Amino acid sequence: MRHSFQGAAAALLTLALAGCLAAPATQVTKARPGGSSGSDAGFTAPLALDLPPRAAPVSPRHGDAEMAASFMDLTFAMETGRTLDHFSRFEGPITIALTGAVPATAPADLDRVIARLRAEAGIPISRSSGPGAAITVEFTPRATLHRLAPSAACFVVPNVSSLAEFRRQRGSDALDWAQVVERQRVAIFAPSDASAQEVRDCLHEEVAQALGPLNDLYRLSDSVFNDDNFNSVLTPFDMAILRATYAPELRSGMSRAQVQALIGPVMARVNGAGPGFGATRCGVPIARARC
């Protein structure tokens, strides 16, 4: 899943480093099957969520320290390797709308994603039928998307709500995720003529990245935040990461150091698995540490 239009030379350099002529550097993309992807100012009061004191452990394999480390790696970098200076998310209730040539299966699939995000990640997200949604999912023919991002099945762009607006803004800093301090509008562009499974996959993965982490990590075998496409449906790991993203201790605009100082206790509550296999001491797994 998953960049900046700051001039042709910069864009080409970013794409070369990504290893493919795929999506522009400001967007976040989901690779097509068998392919690979390319992929603020102000303060808003922290979002008050009804988080339980401790969620069920994601997996015995993922201790709290490991989850916290994965959160930082997912949140403060993009798929291209570009680092991000600020933590960003939506602040307040989030609406999401479907537009364009919406496939018949998409509304029900989106409703299921929304229900899970509310129940499992504690995110106050709901469907919207009118303009002005925080997240807009626009469906358009695959050929149109292929001209914009040849290797992407679908992609996410900040600060726009339509493909027409995206085209008008190309080349501007408005489309640069690195400039985003608080998310207010995000567009997901998906193929209208894709299979039902591909539509479902795009909704799971790209809605998750519109809300939270912009990076993918190959080491995450039980997550949609991995371009190897091991998982096409949001997993318990992903829900824990998203629940931490919207924890009341965090807020948009925080620096890496500020989030790092808080993510340990946040993940201890959200993940609740204890040190687990992810904990280290003296640079080695805690189970083998002798210092």
Q: What residue ranges do the domains of the chain occupy?
A: 8-288
Predicted confidence (pLDDT) per residue in 160-187, tens digit: 999 999 999 988 999 999 999 999 999 9
Task: Give 11 or 272, the one with higher predicted confidence.
Answer: 272
Average pLDDT score over residue span 237-244 = 96
- The answer to whether residue 50 scores a pLDDT higher than 90 is no
Whole-number Å distance between alpha carbons of 59 and 61: 5
Angle between helices 236-245 and 106-121 (to 10 degrees): 70
Q: Look at 5-9, 130-134, 271-275 and tell me which has the smallest mean pLDDT.
A: 5-9
Residues with Cβ within 8 Å of 102's Cβ and at least 6 positions away in sequence, in order, are 139, 192
CATH superfamily of 8-288: Collagenase (Catalytic Domain) (3.40.390.10)
Whole-number Å distance between alpha carbons of 282 and 81: 27
Average pLDDT score over residue span 4-23 = 36
Whole-number Å distance between alpha carbons of 214 and 121: 17
Would you call 73 helix, strand, or coil by DSSP? Answer: helix
Predicted confidence (pLDDT) per residue in 73-87, tens digit: 999 999 888 999 999
The structure's pTM equals: 0.77
- The answer to whether residue 215 scores a pLDDT higher than 70 is yes
Task: Give 204 or 60, the one with higher predicted confidence.
Answer: 204
Average pLDDT score over residue span 106-120 = 97
Please report the pLDDT score of residue 144 as a whole number: 93
Please report the pLDDT score of residue 288 as a whole number: 37
Please report the pLDDT score of residue 12 as a whole number: 34
Nearest alpha carbon to residue 159 among 140, 137, 187, 181: 187
Q: Which of 12-26, 96-110, 266-280 has the highest mean pLDDT?
A: 96-110
> How does DSSP classify residue 80?
T
Q: How confident is the model at residue 54 (pLDDT cuts 50, 70, 90)?
A: very low
Q: Is 234 exposed, middle or buried (0-12, 13-18, 19+ CB in 10 A)?
A: buried
- The answer to whether residue 71 scores a pLDDT higher than 90 is yes
